[in-house]
Chains A and B, each alone.
Chain A
Amino acid sequence: MESRTFKNKVQEFIRERVISKLQLAYFAVDEQMKVRGASSNLSDYGFPKLDIGKPVDEQIDFMIGMDAKTELDLPVVGSPSGIPISVSLMPDDDQLTVLISNASTATEQRQLLQQAANENELLVEQQKKLMSELEMASQELEQKNRQLEEASRLQTSFISGVSHEFRTPLTSIIGYTNLVKSDLAKMSEEMVPRIAKQDSDDYLSAVQRSSKHLLSLVENLLDHGKLDSDEINIRPKPTDLNELFRDVELLLTPLSTTKDIRFDIELDIPSDFEAIVDDSRLRQCLINLVGNAIKFTDEGGVSLKAKLENESLNVSVSDTGLGISADDLKKIRLPFFQAADTGKVGTGLGLTITERIIEMMGGQLEIESELNVGTCVTFSMPAPLIEPQLAVEQQLSVNLTELRVLLAEDDSDIADLVVMLLEEQGVNVRRVVNGALAVAALQEADFDIVLMDIHMPIMTGYEAIEELNKQGNTTPIIVMSASAVEDDQERAKGLGCAAYLVKPVDVQEILSIASMVIDVN
């Protein structure tokens, strides 16, 4: 009695909690797939009331294509009611029973899980695709970059090559002009009438100015090449700033005079101190900035102001020229940029180089401009002060008339020039055209000093110096080269050369170095 009640209770529990929750329904078909019987709750799932004896596949769609012999488990099938059902086909000896249950709970959970998993996988796939696209794009970019770099390198080396080629002929133009000018000055009035003499002198000054200008353009081009390859070095040394600015004034006043415009210079620099700056770089910047200002000013004038205070040099170059439009102002720092319609010529490099050099000297360049009103360029840079050193002027202390110089130089124009200038000072010069001959000459005679060009046929200057070093040569050697590349200078130093001069060399420079070198020895 007790156990019977318990069994009932269990059955009731199963019916209520399990079967009712599963909403079990069923139907059975015979071997011909005709309906034999069905539970009444089939309609809960949206199925029609089945006609006994009629083919099942006319009444229930999912039975189409099924046979009575195949056991099959379909875990989740969408029923006509929308409720997901689980379907089991259970074949028997002579009939097929199809059991249907509610699969909502399991399906819901499965749905959440699956949805998340699939979306995640799609994201991962998408990410992979993007990564590989990114990879490809960056490779393409790198390739392009390399090509650009190569093109720019070629351009730079072309520019340096060409400008280098220009220096040698320029050297002889400037040198010969100096020579002719000084010859002219010495000529008496019987030889040349005074008026003609004055005219010729003016013409020669014009040639001088133009060739110096050309040289500074060539130097800018060379520097451009070096900027790209980071070869420019700043070498500060004690400098008399007043003198430097006066130099610039002297050099550029003729340009403004020719254009009939004003060029004033206003200096507020204490004269009892020297500033530590790279004088030649600062000079180059000033020439570029003032030169530009004069170039672009046709009326009014240019004024250069410099003030030294708190160990900082503040410079402004203002003009009343064409001015620069706001659009062009953005591009003006690009190399080779030229505003389209100014009708002015130039390399378009001056400003780029100037700005870089000023930055390298610790300064900052600022440009303000208004179209048709004028432009003002300012910069300030550190300029630490020191007391001027005494004995700056090194007097030529050696008797030059006795100086014996060996000159190795293959360019006959330059050689002629140097010989002429040195002989004018009473120096004895012996001339050879390559390094091998220089070595030979040193073996057979004594010299006080050797002036050695680098690029020569048969044996270059460097090879000759190496050879001489091997032979224990003691004669000081001064290298003269058209190459302003730092590497070459380092190499000369490494070979124990006394000095390195960059063409165009000034004869005074040769002599003062010669006298210093000999003095020391």
Chain B
Amino acid sequence: MDKKKICMVGDFSVGKTSLTQKFVNNVFSEKYLTTIGVKIDTVEVESTKLIIWDVAGRDSLSPINASYLVGAAGVILVADGTRESTVSGLLDIWAVVEKRIGSVPCVVALNKCDLPDWHVSESNLDEFASRDWSVFQTSAKKGHDVETLFHTLVAKI
């Protein structure tokens, strides 16, 4: 069976762990538990064994440790649609990814679309579109577009 490593990257508390858990174990928790380092989960998607590296988010104490990205066949860039800074922050994070592992296939999750105060500017969306990224509005809580998100990336790698 084909095996692929992918990475969840983005700022802290945007829902990387939640999206992974929803996709792999179909569970969601409201409680926030900071991920330290990386958690690795595996799941079969069609005929591919997917190894999902849920990497600790970028935060005030530390940047993303790019070592965790090595060997990834693709990345999921995750942002919190209710925190504008995490959306525009994706461009910097992508620069880190690209520097370490090159221009791997990528999809974008604008997460928490179930919440009311959505703040995603048109200019950010235009920027993503110009890079040919597939952008999804997801909700780890409601499961909205979570499957599509992962399947789209798998199709690209």
Contacts and interface: CB of A to CB of B under 8 A. Distances in A.
A514 to B, nearest CB: 76
Interface stretch (A13-21, A117-125, A289-297): A117-125
B36 A65 contact: no
A76 B40 CA distance: 11
18 contacts: A57-B3, A65-B5, A65-B51, A65-B70, A65-B73, A66-B70, A67-B71, A73-B67, A77-B38, A78-B38, A107-B36, A114-B61, A115-B33, A117-B60, A118-B34, A118-B59, A121-B60, A125-B83
B40 A107 contact: no
B67 to A, nearest CB: 5
Contacts of A334: none
Contact of B71 (A65, A114, A121): A65
Nearest to B73: A65
A129 B32 CA distance: 20
Interface string B98-128: 0000000000000000000100000000000
A64 B36 contact: no
Interface string B1-43: 0011100000011000000000000000000111011111010
B96 interface: no
Contacts of B37: 74-78, 84, 103, 107
A336 interface: no
Given A65-B70, A118-B59, A77 B40 contact: yes
Interface of B: 3-5, 12-13, 32-34, 36-40, 42, 51, 56, 59-61, 65, 67-68, 70-73, 83, 85, 117
Contacts of B33: 115
Given A66-B71, A113-B61, A115-B33, A74 B38 contact: yes
Contacts of A66: 70-71
Contacts, number: 76
Contacts of B83: 125
B5 A111 contact: no
Given A65-B4, A84-B37, 8 more contacts: A61-B42, A75-B65, A78-B39, A114-B56, A115-B33, A115-B34, A118-B60, A125-B83
Nearest to A66: B71
Nearest to A67: B71
Nearest to A126: B83
A50 B102 CA distance: 32
B50 to A, nearest CB: 10
Contacts of B36: 76, 84, 107, 110-111, 114
A117 B32 contact: no
Contact size class for A? 20 to 34
A125 B67 CA distance: 29
Contacts of A75: 37, 65
A334 B92 CA distance: 60
B32 A119 contact: yes
Contacts of B60: 117-118, 121
Contact of A117 (B3, B59, B68, B73): B59
A114 B34 contact: yes
Contacts of A70: 70
A108 to B, nearest CB: 9
The 9 closest A-B pairs by CB, nearest first: A76-B37, A65-B71, A65-B5, A78-B39, A115-B34, A114-B34, A64-B5, A64-B3, A66-B71
B70 to A, nearest CB: 6
A72 interface: yes
A72 B72 CA distance: 14
B3 A111 contact: no
A107 B61 CA distance: 15
Given A57-B3, A62-B40, A121-B60, A111 B13 contact: no
B65 to A, nearest CB: 7
B13 A122 contact: yes
Nearest to A70: B70
